[in-house]
Structure 1
């Protein structure tokens, strides 16, 4: 028998002795039974109560330590006998309530604790037990109306108990932390903040206090204050968790270099911690520290050879560095490790598309579409989002190859899913028909979209734009104007749309007027950026180069990585033959983000052409033609490249395609005289080819 086994027996012996010492007739008077109930005038028999409490403790210990349920009921009966002997002893009720709680009798525990509080309102043990009961119920997802409590909402009950607990024990950091967390769950941020601040005053260096206070600020998007709370702890006193949280806060504040430093400090304290290394690598990647990010991801891949995640990121870095074949080999290793990885499947399709292996890309995306398909057509919001991404990429690959029917079919599946993908699916169908110069079909689909979604203002604005492109400018403009409500949040996008329409119609004064109206409405970062872009495009169409440059530079101050703005300003410089090195840098940055974008590839090729780097120009212009077969400007640029390098017949072929596409292009999408210039070059090429043939009698091969 272990020493511990004697302890309950010793307690029991002491209790028996004490009972006999105070009993007037020990030989004839039995101990009070659990059922006995003293009269109101009876004096408490504390010796008897102690005796039964000791027995209860012995049974309870045996029930808990051995897991034998048959000891529970005797323990309960002995507690009741003790209470019967001394009804005013709150500690006995507390013990019985705690026994009920520990043995799963939650309802009995709650009612017993409440009975104690009825007679002893400030009994801390009873309040703490009730708090524990409600916390357990919350943990079991019973935070609506408790099934075991008639008193109502469990979260509110837990808050009420811990409010009483901290009132009785105001310097209990642990209880204030719990109360603060409960307020957080209740979305009562100010009250949560108050509790955490009081706890911080008591224990200024407590990790849990600091982290919870920071979390309150984070959940209210007050990341500056969250950072200040964490920064207030001296760097040498911060824990790894504090540094990790500080890094995540800096991420939200776009202070990427500070985030990297914090994550590194956390990693130094916890070498090999996977979440920290992942966060560090992502921050390094965001900061374009590709070499450092690559090293960190390689460490992660080595730490867990079965995890495909680091390989996906390594592949993405290789893609960003233009190492497409290496990236493809890496992503295929990732897919081999995790064939179900949606991210790896997406990236493999993307790389195949970048490499111009369109059929393989389409096959890969089709596999991912099949993988995310449900026979019953029912999808969660996350599943819809994932499936929508793969359908869009599948449609895009077919779109690039001018496989209109296949592209439309993929986008139709997006529409059929419903939800957020509907509007996007219709827009992509319209874009596909527009690029294929099937403008009547674009209008038809736009009308179908509006009929199916009559409350969707974005789809109505899309239809208005299509009517303008079809030459029905008054109808389109009137439809757009009819969408104005006088509410800034509603009208902002309408004015943006009208500004774009007026600009394309070369009605510049009206474009300036509507964009001026939109200016005070553009309060969000993304709205300010788009407004500056529209103003820049308007100035460019008016040949106001310096003004356009000013708008684009302001837009890039808001978002230095905005591909649309980078490409537009770079192309504007290249086309004018000015600031060519900067133009190349700007466009290169846009292409790095969207290497499959035919318009960006054309801009890049055109910049190289203006710089006299004809080999690089040809590589990019040929890719642009492959991806934008119906764009007259792309064919024109490649024709100029061929002419410059002495391949007149190839140049003529491209100019011929350019003229054909110009003839199908709406006037809103071309500058006056552009087609005439290409026609003139084409006629000159025909003359030169005719002279060459008449002189030698042989057409020189190219």
Structure 2
């Protein structure tokens, strides 16, 4: 949506003036004829007689085959006439004479791009920018090609250089904002977008980009407003409308989200994903009749497809109809006796609905139908772990880890169960086993680092482990929480506060993170702030005994 169709690089080349064209001094020409023809060609070019100028440059180069200025002008005129192959040939000939010619590298890269050789073009344009980074045209062309290749790590710095060279280049400001947004650098994108708006407040696509940046900064209401402004102008933009649906749903604005989902369906009536999303929202908005009609539409689209059936079953289960979901799964099983996937699906539906015993029965049935299959075992273990039956779940994970030793997520689940069973040594063994197989696995690094920090031991090792995890995923809220907790354990309250405040934002207020932040505020003497965090932790998880005890202690 944001990445507008790039202007033809040929047109950019054709319209760009030569940066201080430097034909050789008269005495350097091998003949007066070559000099005369070059001068005549420039005159014809200025008069707009492109074909005649091309002929004169050609004759000049025949008289002086090593004339870089003549070869460069031929390359530029060929580009202006849309002859990319010819432009490429003359640029190469110019570089054969002078490999440092920035303009020849630029022309070569532009021709390569227009011939569909984008990766080669990027390398050539990088040479042009390296040879002369003061020419905005070179930098902009490099940025556009990098953007087409989704190399936003390259296009963003290039666009930033372009606006340094030409602060009034509103389009480069806009493209810089888009590139920074694609890199997840939304604060930088916001600044660039403000500059773009100052130069061109009615630029097409600006409302969408404003919405995207606001969404990235966590300003949901602002993003919703901008997306709606965009859709007022582009009613058929389903990508943006779907983003709007998701934002409204995230805010719990079910009726509004459903209205937008209906608008998507009007334009994509056979889109299974859109129908499923509308059905979900209809359930949430308290419109079960509409939701059931939408589920019936899904049934009609793919009645015999098992993955599609699985999505419908889970949709029903998420919305209080797990028995209906399980019934559908069992109906499929009746038509496919002996296939473990039917009981597996019924078990998932019942587990989502909170029927632990029913879900376990289906999982065990799936295991009996496929005794050597992994999937039924995974469901069995997950049901037990979600039900907080830690010892039984750990037993299943141990069995799986023994048969499939390289399944790292299973070993992490095993470690988590052992933590709940107060078997710290067993949890540590499980995670160290992972790190012996995958030394840089970020979740395992964080798990062990947090375990050590939480138990206030081996803090040097814990800090190293957590730092390595954060380096791999700096915006992972769980990792940032671990770093904040490590700082707290080491008495670095200011650093702990900074990291944990950020972790609360990154985790959308996870109750454990809030409790950690409350502990920091309490130890800093900020009792009101501490109470607020403990209260919010309890609002999110009423079973958080630690937060309740600490809140009571501050009253």
- TM-score between both structures, scaled by the size of structure 2: 0.59
- SS of equivalent to 2:167: helix
Alignment of 1:266-665 (within 5 A): 266-336=230-300, 346-351=311-316, 354-355=320-321, 356-363=323-330, 393=348, 396=351, 400=356, 402=358, 404=360, 406-408=362-364, 428-432=379-383, 442-452=393-403, 459-460=410-411, 462-463=413-414, 476-482=423-429, 489-494=446-451, 523=500, 524=503, 525-526=506-507, 529=510, 531-532=512-513, 553-555=535-537, 565-566=540-541, 568=543
Structure-2 residue corresponding to 1:178? 144
- Cα distance change on mapping 1:391 and 1:481 into 2, 3 Å: same
Structure with greater Cα Rg: 1
Q: Deviations over 1:475-505 (max 9, x none)?
A: x343235568799734355369989xxxxxx
- SS of equivalent to 1:445: helix
- SS of equivalent to 2:510: helix
Q: Is the 8 A contact 1:49 1:81 kept in 2?
A: no
- Cα distance change on mapping 1:450 and 1:184 into 2, 3 Å: closer
Q: Is the 8 A contact 1:93 1:112 kept in 2?
A: yes
- SS of equivalent to 1:202: coil
Match of 2:219 among 251, 255, 267: 255
Per the TM alignment, residue 176 of structure 1 is displaced from its structure 2 partner at its CA by: 6.9
Counting matched residue pairs gives 441
Per the TM alignment, residue 130 of structure 1 is displaced from its structure 2 partner at its CA by: 0.4
Q: Is the 8 A contact 1:214 1:225 kept in 2?
A: yes
Structure 1 residue 212 corresponds to structure 2 residue 175: yes
- Cα distance change on mapping 1:84 and 1:186 into 2, 3 Å: same
Consecutive unaligned residues in structure 1, runs of 5 or more: 1-38, 55-59, 62-75, 147-153, 374-386, 500-514, 537-546, 574-702
- Cα distance change on mapping 1:395 and 1:47 into 2, 3 Å: same
Per the TM alignment, residue 257 of structure 1 is displaced from its structure 2 partner at its CA by: 0.5
Q: Is the 8 A contact 1:243 1:262 kept in 2?
A: yes
Distance across 1 between alignment mates of 2:237 and 2:229: 12
Distance across 1 between alignment mates of 2:383 and 2:93: 73
Distance across 2 between alignment mates of 1:199 and 1:216: 18
- Cα distance change on mapping 1:316 and 1:435 into 2, 3 Å: closer
Distance across 1 between alignment mates of 2:117 and 2:424: 57
Per the TM alignment, residue 47 of structure 1 is displaced from its structure 2 partner at its CA by: 7.5
Q: Deviations over 1:84-112 (max 9, x none)?
A: 34546644675379769999995x86453
Q: Is the 8 A contact 1:263 1:277 kept in 2?
A: yes
Per the TM alignment, residue 252 of structure 1 is displaced from its structure 2 partner at its CA by: 1.7
Per the TM alignment, residue 361 of structure 1 is displaced from its structure 2 partner at its CA by: 3.9
Q: Deviations over 1:379-430 (max 9, x none)?
A: xxxxxxxx9x979836837974625364257689999999xxx8xx766423
- Cα distance change on mapping 1:413 and 1:222 into 2, 3 Å: farther
RMSD after superposition:
5.9
Distance across 2 between alignment mates of 1:427 and 1:494: 25
Q: Is the 8 A contact 1:176 1:196 kept in 2?
A: no
- Cα distance change on mapping 1:78 and 1:171 into 2, 3 Å: closer
- TM-score between both structures, scaled by the size of structure 1: 0.48
- SS of equivalent to 1:288: coil
Structure-1 residue corresponding to 2:107? 129
- Cα distance change on mapping 1:259 and 1:397 into 2, 3 Å: closer
Distance across 1 between alignment mates of 2:212 and 2:333: 36
